[in-house]
A = this chain, B = another copy of it.
Amino acid sequence: MPFSNVAERREQPPALAVSTVIFSLRDDERTGRKGLWLPLVRRTREPFRGQWALPGGPLGPRDSLLDAAANNLRDTTGLVPRYLEQLYAFGDLDRSPTRRMVSIVYWALVREDDPHDTATSVLVDDPNVAWFRADDPEVLGNLAFDHRQIIEYALWRLRNKVEYGSIAHRLLGERFTLAQVREVYEAVLDRALDPANFRRTLRSTPDIEETDEFLSGGKHRPPRLYRYTGSTTHPLESENIS
């Protein structure tokens, strides 16, 4: 290491990393509802060797911010991300014990039916990658760096900043049923919601409109699909990666 003492390291220019918070909905046996899960990566190097961390790493000189975030997601989940959004840049002075480090954090909401990247799907068996409940206090309490703060901020954003239509769009994609939106809200809020009341609220939301399509494949009368019509996303902020 070229700068081995603390005083010298403090004079280095800040290093830049990109990390990605990847949420997914999974069945939760304890509650019978869906819960929010996320993949973490076990660190194989100091600092924080052996501890779990958000997928990420130094920004390469030829990677755009979005490419770096998409690579994080592809390498840890085998999924090709449909949609990635910038969450926040974290730059506190003492985030890393070894040198000043600024992390630009993206977040993604993936679904089990998202397309897989066949070239990287082998990596998903890596013992240093595992999925955890996003609000598991034992996991959150032992993360590397300030990654607990980052995940808690992402959860806060889901709970406080996102309107019905936009959260449905981000977690569920172009078309969704009202029951799917309720599952997302139950996972984010961690409580059961009354289906009839929730449908009523959702139908009165201006950014959601019904389509002429129905979800196929179920046993019962197929439920209607809805779509998000809001336009709160600037082209800069997100990319549909295809």
Q: Which residues of A contact B (CB under 8 A)?
A: 10-16, 58-59, 61-62, 64-65, 86, 88-89, 91-93, 100, 102, 104, 149, 153, 156-157, 160-161, 231-232, 234, 236-237
Contact = CB atoms under 8 A, between A and B. Distances in A.
Nearest to A106: B89
A14 B89 contact: no
Given A16-B16, A86-B89, A62 B10 contact: yes
A168 to B, nearest CB: 18
Q: State how many copies of this chain the complex holds.
A: 2
A128 B130 CA distance: 54
A91 to B, nearest CB: 4
B93 A232 contact: no
Contacts of A236: 88, 149, 153
A100 B156 CA distance: 32
